[in-house]
Structure 1
Amino acid sequence: MSAPRALLNDFIPFSNVDGPGNRFVLFFQGCNFDCSFCHNPYTISTCIDCEICIEPCPEDALFRETDGSVTVDWDRCTRCDICVDVCPYDSTPLAKQVTVDEIFSEIRTAAPFLSGITVSGGEATLQPEFVAALFSELKAHPDTRHLTTFVDSNGSCTSETWDVLLPVMDSAMIDIKALDDNIHIALTGVSNSRVLDSIRYLARRDRLHEVRLPLISGVNDSDELLTRTARWLASVDPALRIKVIGFRKHGVRAQYQDLTEPTADQMEHCEQVLSAAGAHEIVRL
């Protein structure tokens, strides 16, 4: 089995919040959004080998290779994440280059206890060839072919990228940070035009498990915006599942800690507004 390599931040062998059932979740390194509310901002960029993290490491586990790259001595590393904390570039030296063989072996071990696999990030669709190769191997092997294959994405990729994944992808979960493009740009640095295109494209092919609405109090949770969002989603698919996710400050960069977490009452109100505007299935994370 041959396949491209991928830059992986980490994986979780068992998760019940990243799609249906018990799932193995891969977090890819690198994202094309710069979300102010991101709770794992160290997955946004790839390491530029600046060496800033080497000296602060208390275990002397980081060093520069002769080719100039910053490398980890995994026998010394304790995953204290001080290197992540001191990185000014929203990255980490701990991301690993992995092969399909390596990841398949991890998944196969856990497969009897799993419902499926979800690729997340960062942004998994930035490494589509690896994702397609991994999903293909999972579908082909008798020990893993029962696993559903999901992509958790910001939806920013093109239809050509989705076409690489669709033959082996069972479904996708797409975020709408804001239906209003100006708010979306303010939150992410990127227009939502491709996100909306992806939602339409996947819904037409019955490959859209849910749309996720991360809600920040006073930013993207107005009744007017939620009403427009529900109506637009209903126009795409009246039965579309919507998951509302309340913003939490944990892990968010210091300069964005003034963003406000919605209360339970506010989240309930948002659900009521979405329902009144035509959303039929709403779940809360």
Structure 2
Amino acid sequence: MIELFLDNPAIFGGFLFVLGLLVGSFLNVVIHRIPKMMEHQFRQECQLIDAPIDAITPPSTTYNLVVPRSACPSCGHAIGALENIPVISYLVLRGRCKACETQISPRYPMVELLCATLTTIAGLHFGVTIAAIAAIMLTWALIALVFIDADTYLLPDSITLPLLWLGLLFNLNNLFVPLDQAVIGAIAGYLVLWAVYWLFKLATGKEGMGYGDFKLLAALGAWFGWQALPSIILLSSISGAVIGIALAILAKRGMGKPMPFGPYLGIAGWLTLLIGGSLQQLLFSGVAT
């Protein structure tokens, strides 16, 4: 299989695209369910605090990434295997539920196509190597985090913390950066935004960002080292400001409405994966002169 991919980049690219479509379908489940799973866990923990042990009732149904089966939120129709084929099912069904014909959000095929495209780009960029496997795993995690944070203002520990440890693990053999730079990057990534958070809170009495942002930047520091942090922070801040102002103007949402920072960290992190050196040179080319 490896020889086939090495000799035929087109076949390798096609494999990556199909793999990305399949994983993108699963990421739709992750994006939808993990916040709900967090909410369920929070409610159970609150029940443990507020009620005596003998009064606590176990959850009536199991809810995780596997069960229950995906179903139409309008009519409860269980989605069958043929209705779960990435993109194709959406087109065949004309974007509607098979049972009640309620409109299905176009975001589902969009996430699948985005995952397929970014998986292919990352895989072909690194070739048939361990680095490609690592890059693809990072890509999948960042896609999930970007959409979850955009929807809920949450960056789940169940994704950010394993991502941090994976970065350190892959850099044990200097895959992207030397291990010492990765460790310092993880520490510095967390502390930089932690310091910004507290300075902003002391100055304004408000919270400017969440702890999930600290953990995501720590994870990116573990992957790319402390040298990449300035360009990641600058790029994410610039893109966040530009997009935030555009949304405020176009959607008339107002400048005072909170805006998640995680999506912009995720975008900056993925660009660093592919063009980190060029990105740092572009953003800081005038600093050294």
Q: Tell me the TM-score normalised to structure 1 length.
A: 0.31
Instruction: Please state which structure has a larger fraction of its residues in strand.
Output: 1
State the TM-score, normalized to the length of structure 2: 0.31
Larger radius of gyration: 2
